[in-house]
Amino acid sequence: MFSFAFRILAGMERRFRSANWPLRICYVLLAILVIAVVGYATQVIPGFDKIKELFGRAPAEVQIIVLLSVLLIAIAAAVNSLRQTQQVEDLNAKLAIAEADRDQLQTRWDRLQIVSSHFELWKRSCQIAIPPFVPANQRKTRFITVLNLKGGVGKTTLTANLAACLSLASPPKRVLLVDVDFQGTLSDATVDKALILSKKAHDAFVHQLLLEPDPKSGLIDQLAVPMNHVPSAKVLIAREQLDNEDYRSQAKYYVDEKADPRFQFRKHLHQNEIFASYDYVFFDCPPRITVSVVNSLFCSDFVLIPTRLDKGSIESVPRTVNWLKVLGPNCPAVLLGVVVNQVSLNNQGKVTKADLQSYEYLRASLEALGEKDRLFKACVQSSTRAVGTDHGVVASVDPKNQPLFHPMVVEFVRRALK
Q: What is the pLDDT of residues 114-148, one digit of tens each?
A: 444 566 788 888 899 999 999 999 999 999 999 99
Indicate if 94 and 234 belong to the same structural domain: no
- Residues 383/346, Cβ–Cβ less than 8 Å: no
| Whole-angstrom distance, CA of residue 343 vs CA of residue 407 | 14
pLDDT tens-digit readout, 10-30 = 555 566 566 665 666 666 666
Query: Domain boundary at 87, 108, 129, which?
Result: 108
Assess whether 195 and 241 both reside in one domain: yes
Residue 117 lies in a domain: no
Residue 113: inside a domain, yes or no? no
User: What is the distance between the alpha carbons of residues 16 and 23, in angstroms, rounded to a whole number?
Assistant: 8
In a domain, 44, yes or no: yes
Is residue 182 domain-shared with residue 330, that is, in the same domain? Answer: yes
The pLDDT assigned to 266 comes to 96
Q: What is the mean pLDDT of each run of 10 residues along the chain (418 residues)?
A: 48 59 64 59 53 66 70 69 75 82 66 54 88 95 97 95 96 97 95 93 94 87 95 96 94 91 96 97 96 97 97 94 87 96 87 92 95 95 79 90 95 94
C-alpha 318/C-alpha 335 separation (Å) is 11
pLDDT score at 160: 96
pLDDT at 42: 47
Cis omega (within 30 of 0) on the bond before 171?
yes
381 assigned to some structural domain: yes
Verify that 145 and 20 share a domain, yes or no.
Answer: no
Rounded Cα distance between 155 and 37, Å, is 86
Q: Give me the pLDDT at residue 44, please.
A: 47
How many domains in the chain? 2
pLDDT at 115: 46
Residue 225 pairs in a beta bridge with 235
**Domain containing 33: what range?**
2-108
Average per-residue pLDDT in the chain?
85
Secondary structure (H, E, C), the chain? CHHHHHHHHHHHHHHHHHCCHHHHHHHHHHHHHHHHHHHHHHCCCCCHHHHHHHHHHCCHHHHHHHHHHHHHHHHHHHHHHHHHHHHHHHHHHHHHHHHHHHHHHHHHHHHHHHHHHHHHHHHCCCCCCCCCCCCHHHCCCEEEEECCCCCCCCHHHHHHHHHHHHHCCCCCCCEEEEECCCCCHHHHHHCCHHHHHHHHHCCCCCCHHHHCCCCCCCHHHHHEEEECCEEEEEEECCCHHHHHHHHHHHHHHHHCCCCCCCCHHHHHHCCHHHHHHCCEEEEECCCCCCHHHHHHHHHCCEEEEEECCCHHHHHHHHHHHHHHHHCCCCCCCEEEEEEECCECECCCCCECHHHHHHHHHHHHHHHHCCCCCCECCCCCECCHHHCCCCCCCCHHHCCCCHHHCHHHHHHHHHHHCC
- Dump pLDDT digits (tens) for 285-336: 999 999 999 999 999 999 999 999 999 999 999 999 998 888 878 899 999 9
Residue 43 belongs to some domain of the structure:
yes
Among the three residues 70, 88, 108, which one is the final residue of a domain in this structure?
Answer: 108
Domain CATH code at residue 269: 3.40.50.300
| Domain shared by 102 and 205, yes or no | no
Same domain, 307 and 191: yes
Asked, for residue 124, whether it belongs to a domain, the answer is: no
131 part of a folded domain: no
Is 197 within a domain? yes
Distance CA 158, CA 394 (A): 10
Report the alpha-carbon distance of residue 181 to residue 291 in Å, rounded: 11
Supply the pLDDT for residue 5.
Answer: 47
Write phi, then psi, for 304 (nearest 5 degrees). -110, 125
Alpha carbons 109 and 112: distance in angstroms, whole number:
5
Question: Does one domain contain both 276 and 386?
Answer: yes
Instruction: Note whether 231 and 174 are within 8 A (CB).
Output: no
User: Given this model, what pLDDT does residue 48 score?
Assistant: 54
